[in-house]
Amino acid sequence: NAGVTQTPKFRVLKTGQSMTLLCAQDMNHEYMYWYRQDPGMGLRLIHYSVGEGTTAKGEVPDGYNVSRLKKQNFLLGLESAAPSQTSVYFCASSYQGTGGEAFFGQGTRLTVV
Amino acid sequence: GENVEQHPSTLSVQEGDSAVIKCTYSDSASNYFPWYKQELGKGPQLIIDIRSNVGEKKDQRIAVTLNKTAKHFSLHITETQPEDSAVYFCAATDYSSASKIIFGSGTRLSIRP
């Protein structure tokens, strides 16, 4: 049982390049989330999904897009990367949404130069 | 929307002493308050949670208290051990609606031998 798996674990991008971060969970969870973690700012919610085919904006959605075509996968896209998007990105999933435990992946460290 | 403030940002205690981390939230609709522990290089993991119909919950050396009137909740760790050194996050959310989990900015706890 892998839990929540994020791909890739590390990535360096040049300003203006695009990329997609993949999150996969094998726990049959309905809810999935993308967070970014920056020093002194905790975990900030980028986008989230309450089920297959649905997405919603979080606290800091600008510059990111997401898709949830399959229940087990939640993709985070950066269309034109900026240095301000240098961060550690975490994906999480939960069964009961807000009332249940959220399980986190190991994180993706992204550097935009 | 919900806003969660967490204090202190760093905390150093002597091994065996107690540690207390405090959080306040803004949305009176929030009714679920989890605490997560993040070890170096890993994703956060749930250590304890509390729902709004409970004032206190304890699990071995860890306890959480909730004051809904004042909109604050606290994490208490007693008899601290070296393995308690980590970053701790509080969070708040509304169990029944938007499914967003909003986190505090984190507390880096260090245990001095």
Mean pLDDT of chain A: 93
Pair A64, A74: CB distance under 8 Å: no
Question: pLDDT confidence of A46, banded at 50, 70, 90?
Answer: very high
CB atoms within 10 A of CB B70: 8
pLDDT at position A29 over 70? yes
Answer whether A90 sits within 8 Å of B34, measured CB to CB.
no
pLDDT at position A102 over 60? yes
pLDDT at position B84 over 70? yes
Average pLDDT over residues B72-95: 94
pLDDT attached to residue B96:
61
- For chain B, what percent of residues have pLDDT higher than 90? 79
Pair B103, B90: CB distance under 8 Å: yes
pLDDT at position B95 over 80? no
CB atoms within 10 A of CB A61: 16
pLDDT at position B70 over 90? yes
- For chain B, what percent of residues have pLDDT higher than 70? 96
Nearest beta carbon to residue B44 from set A41, A50, A104: A104
CA separation for the pair A24, A95 (Å, rounded):
14
Average pLDDT over residues B69-79: 97
More confident residue, B109 or A51: B109
How many interface pairs between A and B have CB atoms less than 8 angstroms apart? 68
CA separation for the pair B94, B52 (Å, rounded):
10
Asked if B102 has any chain A CB less than 8 Å from its own CB, the reply is yes
User: Hey, what are B1's tokens?
Assistant: 């929307």
CA separation for the pair A29, B99 (Å, rounded):
13
User: Hey, what are B58's tokens?
Assistant: 């304890």
Mean pLDDT of chain B: 93
**Which tens digit of pLDDT belongs to each residue from B2-51?**
899 999 999 999 999 999 999 999 998 888 899 999 999 999 999 999 98
pLDDT at position A82 over 90? yes
Helical (H) or strand (E) element with A92? strand A87-94
Asked if B93 has any chain A CB less than 8 Å from its own CB, the reply is yes
Q: DSSP per residue over B66-105, as a string?
A: EETTTTEEEEEE-S--GGG-EEEEEEEB-TTTT---EE--
A48 CB neighbours in chain B (<8 A) are 99-100
pLDDT attached to residue B99:
66
More confident residue, B99 or B15: B15
- For chain A, what percent of residues have pLDDT higher than 90? 82
Asked if B104 has any chain A CB less than 8 Å from its own CB, the reply is yes
Nearest beta carbon to residue B43 from set A48, A97, A107: A107
Average pLDDT over residues A34-58: 92
Question: pLDDT confidence of B82, banded at 50, 70, 90?
Answer: very high
Angle (nearest 5°) at CA B42 between A109 and B65 = 125
Asked if B26 has any chain A CB less than 8 Å from its own CB, the reply is no
pLDDT at position B86 over 80? yes
pLDDT attached to residue B53:
84
